[in-house]
C-alpha cells in the first residue's frame, strides 16, 4: 500500500503516534490530531473518531509531543506540560483518574525541557537535570522506589545531570551528561541492560556502555547511539529487533549492531 497525503494540514514540524491516533505539531505551536478517540485522545473536546486532522482544543505554544498508549503529552514553551486522553492510571497528572477529551495542565510541575510517555505513565526532564514521573507504577516504572501508582509528579530517585529521557511500554531510560545510561521499570526481557531480568523501581546503570549521545526505547527493548556512531541494543529480540542477525531473546546487556 502506498503512502497517502494527510489532507488539510501543512507547516508541520513534528509528528507523533499513539496506539490508533496520529498527531502533528505545526510551526505556529498548535497541535492537530486524527484517528481513534474513545478516550478523548484527540483532545478536541469530543469522543468522536475523526478521519481528518482536528485541532487540539485551547492549546498553543507547544514545542514537543509525546504519546503513551492512549494518552498524550504536550510541552509548552513556558516549561509547563499539558495532557489529555486515557487516565485510568492517573497518567494525566491532574490528580484524578478521570479521562479528559481536552488538555489539562499537569499540577505542580514547571521548568520542563523534555517529555516522554510509557504505556500508562508519563515522565519529564526538568532544566535542573532531574527526572519526574507519574501514572502507573506496577513495575517500578516511576523510579521512585515503590510500585504504587501516583497521580502527580514524583522525583526519580538518585538521578541527576540528565540530558535526555526515553520511555516505552513499562520501562524508562535516562542519559546523563557523562554519557552513561540509567534505566528502571519492567525488565523481564533484560531491557534495563544491567545483566539481570528482575524489575527495578529505581534507576540502575546500563552495563558496559559509555560515551552515549542518544537513546530510544521500544516496548520491551532499548537502543543507544555512541559518539563513534555505533548503535547498541538490548532486551526483547523475538522479532529480531536488536538487529544483531539473530532472534535470540532476552539479551540483558548491550550488544553492538554490526
Task: Supply the pLDDT for residue 251.
Answer: 81
Per-residue pLDDT of 8-35, as tens digits, reads 899 999 999 999 999 999 999 999 999 9
Q: Is the pLDDT of residue 203 over 90?
A: yes
What pLDDT sits at residue 244? 87
What pairing do the DSSP bridges indicate for beta strands 212-217 and 21-26?
A: unpaired
pLDDT class for 185, splitting at 50, 70, 90?
Answer: very high
Look at residue 246 in the predicted model and tell me its pLDDT.
86
CB 83 within 8 A of CB 71: yes
Q: Which residues contact 2 (CB under 8 A, 6 or more apart)?
A: none
pLDDT at 124 exceeding the cut of 90: yes
107 contacts 152 by C-beta, under 8 angstroms: yes
* Residue 2 pLDDT: 78
Q: What is the DSSP string of 17-45?
A: E-SSEEEEEETTS-EEEEE--TTSTT-SS
DSSP 211: S
For the stretch 130-160, pLDDT in tens is 999 999 999 999 999 999 999 999 999 999 9
Residue 247: which pLDDT band, with cuts at 50, 70 and 90? Answer: confident
- Whether the CB-CB separation of 92 and 105 falls below 8 Å is answered with no
Kindly tell me if the per-residue pLDDT of 258 is higher than 80: no
- Are 72 and 41 contacting, i.e. CB atoms less than 8 angstroms apart? yes
pLDDT over 90 (residue 81): yes
Q: What is the mean pLDDT of residues 110-138?
A: 98
Neighbouring residues of 243: CB distance < 8 A, sequence distance ≥ 6: 231, 233, 257
**For residue 223, how far is the Cα from the chain centroid?**
14
Do 212 and 174 meet the contact criterion of CB atoms below 8 Å apart?
Answer: no
- Give the separation between CA 1 and CA 148, rounded to whole angstroms: 44
Strand intervals (E) in 99-217 = 100-105, 112-117, 121-126, 131-135, 150-155, 162-168, 171-176, 181-185, 200-205, 212-217
pTM for the whole structure:
0.96
pLDDT at 64 over 90: yes
Which triple of cell numbers denotes residue 253? Answer: 546487556
C-alpha cell at position 73: 503529552
Amino acid at each position: 500500500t502506498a503512502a497517502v497525503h494527510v489532507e488539510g494540514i501543512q507547516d508541520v514540524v513534528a509528528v507523533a503516534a499513539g496506539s490508533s491516533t496520529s498527531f502533528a505539531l505545526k510551526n505556529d505551536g498548535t497541535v492537530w490530531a486524527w484517528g481513534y478517540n474513545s478516550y478523548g485522545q484527540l483532545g478536541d473536546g469530543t469522543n468522536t473518531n475523526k478521519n481528518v486532522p482536528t485541532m487540539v482544543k485551547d492549546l498553543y505554544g507547544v514545542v514537543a509531543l509525546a504519546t503513551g498508549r492512549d494518552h498524550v503529552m504536550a510541552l509548552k514553551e513556558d516549561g509547563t506540560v499539558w495532557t489529555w486522553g486515557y487516565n485510568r492510571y492517573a497518567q494525566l497528572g491532574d490528580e484524578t483518574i478521570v479521562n479528559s477529551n481536552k488538555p489539562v495542565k499537569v499540577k505542580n510541575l514547571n521548568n520542563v525541557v523534555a517529555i516522554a510517555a510509557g504505556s500508562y505513565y508519563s515522565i519529564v526532564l526538568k532544566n535542573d537535570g532531574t527526572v519526574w514521573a507519574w501514572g502507573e507504577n506496577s513495575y517500578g516504572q516511576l523510579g521512585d522506589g515503590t510500585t504504587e501508582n501516583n497521580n502527580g509528579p514524583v522525583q526519580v530517585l538518585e538521578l541527576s545531570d540528565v540530558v535526555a529521557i526515553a520511555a516505552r511500554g513499562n520501562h524508562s531510560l535516562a542519559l546523563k551528561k557523562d554519557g552513561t545510561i540509567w534505566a528502571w521499570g519492567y525488565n523481564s526481557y533484560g531491557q534495563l541492560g544491567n545483566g539481570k531480568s528482575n524489575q527495578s523501581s529505581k534507576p540502575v546503570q546500563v552495563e558496559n556502555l559509555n560515551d552515549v549521545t542518544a537513546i530510544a526505547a521500544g516496548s520491551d527493548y532499548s537502543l543507544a547511539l555512541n559518539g563513534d556512531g555505533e548503535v547498541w541494543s538490548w532486551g526483547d529480540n523475538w522479532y529480531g529487533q536488536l538487529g544483531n542477525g539473530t532472534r535470540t531473546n532476552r539479551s540483558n546487556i548491550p550488544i553492538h549492531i554490526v
